[in-house]
Structure 1
Amino acid sequence: MAAIKWAVDPMHSEVQFKVKHLMITTVTGYFQTFNVEVETESDDFATASSILFTADVNSINTNNEQRDTHLKSADFFDTDTHGQIKFVGNRYEKLGDDRAKLHGNLTIKGTTKPVTVDVEFGGIVVDPYGQTKAGFTVNGKISRKEFGLTWNAVTEAGSVVVADEIKLLAEIQLVKQA
């Protein structure tokens, strides 16, 4: 049986991250350019043989141009050398009809680490144009320092400016390819 290919519907998907700033508020950022490709044996994503997510770091947007420029610099992502974030999923572990854990390897700034994220499966529907679509909400947390994103500053009172924990959130809609 031929593999079923699924591709991201970028108009109905988003990838964001959240990080504490000064430990009192949260800054949200987005990757505006990203891709998701999945291959399965059936409409059951536990049969996935390939799961690939990439994000163009130069598309980062935190609604602040000065901060975005800093995030692209060598202090953080160093986009001149490491322009892409990559996640290669190696196991979609179903925990019920609508819950799963996705295990894989995340590469940021040349460092690859195993990461597990929580997945809420929204289901599969056929849209008004006859396309079969699958929906997912993905949540996870990583330590930015584990990926070499170590820049920080300290306030006069001794508080750190940027927290280590990064919350990852994504709404992903996949389209079954003909």
Structure 2
Amino acid sequence: MAKVKWAVDPTHSEVQFKVKHLMITTVTGYFQNFNVEAETEDEQFSNPANVVFTADVNSISTNNEQRDTHLRSADFFDAAEHEEIRFEGTNYENAGGDDYKLHGNLTIKGNTKPVTVNVEFGGIVVDPYGQTKAGFTLTGKISRKAFGLTWDAVTEAGSVVVSDEIKLQAEIQLVKQA
């Protein structure tokens, strides 16, 4: 049986991150341009393989152009040298019911580290146009410093300006490819 290929439906998907600012509020950012592809053994999304996520660093948006420019700079993502963030899945394990763990290798700014994200499988439906779609909510946490995003500043009172922990959240809808 041939593998089933899946591709992201970008109009029904979003990728965001959250980071503490001054340790008192949370700033949310998005990647406006990203891609997700996967292969499965069947249409039930069992045994996904070749799960690949990429995001265009230049598409980062926090709804503040000055901050976005800083994030694209060498202080953070260094978009001029490292235009893409990449995740390649290595193992998809059932954690009970519709909950899964997706293990893989995340590359940011030329640094690759193993990462595990939590996946809530939303199910599979056929839309009004006859397309088979699968939905997922992904959550996880990473250390930005582990990936070379080491810019730091402190306030006069000694508070950290940007936390090391980054919370990841994505709503992903995949479309079965013909």
TM-score when normalising by structure 1: 0.98
User: Match of 1:2, SS?
Assistant: coil
* Aligned 8 A contact 1:98 1:120 in 2: yes
Matching residue of 2:164: 164
Q: Which residue of the partner structure matches residue 102 of structure 2?
A: 102
Query: Offset of 1:39 from its aligned partner?
Result: 0.5
Confirm or deny that 1:66 pairs with 2:72: no
Cα distance in 2, alignment partners of residues 25 and 170 from structure 1: 20
Alignment of 1:78 with 2:75, yes or no, is: no
Q: Distance in 2 between matches of 1:135 and 1:102?
A: 15
**Bigger Cα displacement from structure 2, 159-168 vs 92-101:** 92-101
Hey, what's the Cα distance between the residues in 2 that align with 1:43 and 1:139? 24
- Alignment partner of 2:66: what SS? helix
Aligned residues: 178
Q: Secondary structure at the match of 2:78?
A: coil
Q: Percent identity?
A: 78
Task: State the Cα distance separating 1:42 from its structure 2 match.
Answer: 1.1
Corresponding residue for residue 133 of structure 1: 133
How far off its partner does 1:95 sit?
1.8
Contact 1:119 1:136 in 2 (8 A): yes
Distance 2:175 2:39 in 1: 11
User: TM-score by structure 2 length?
Assistant: 0.98
Paired with 2:44 and 2:105, the residues of 1 have a C-alpha distance of 21
In structure 1, what is the Cα distance between the partners aligned to 2:43 and 2:103?
19
Provide the rounded CA distance (Å) in 1 between the counterparts of 2:49 and 2:106: 17
Checking the alignment, whether the CA contact within 8 Å between 1:46 and 1:92 is kept in structure 2 is no
- 4+ residue runs over 6 A deviation: none
Question: Residue in 2 aligned with 1:174?
Answer: 174
Q: Which runs of 5+ in 1 are unaligned?
A: none
- Give RMSD over aligned pairs: 0.7
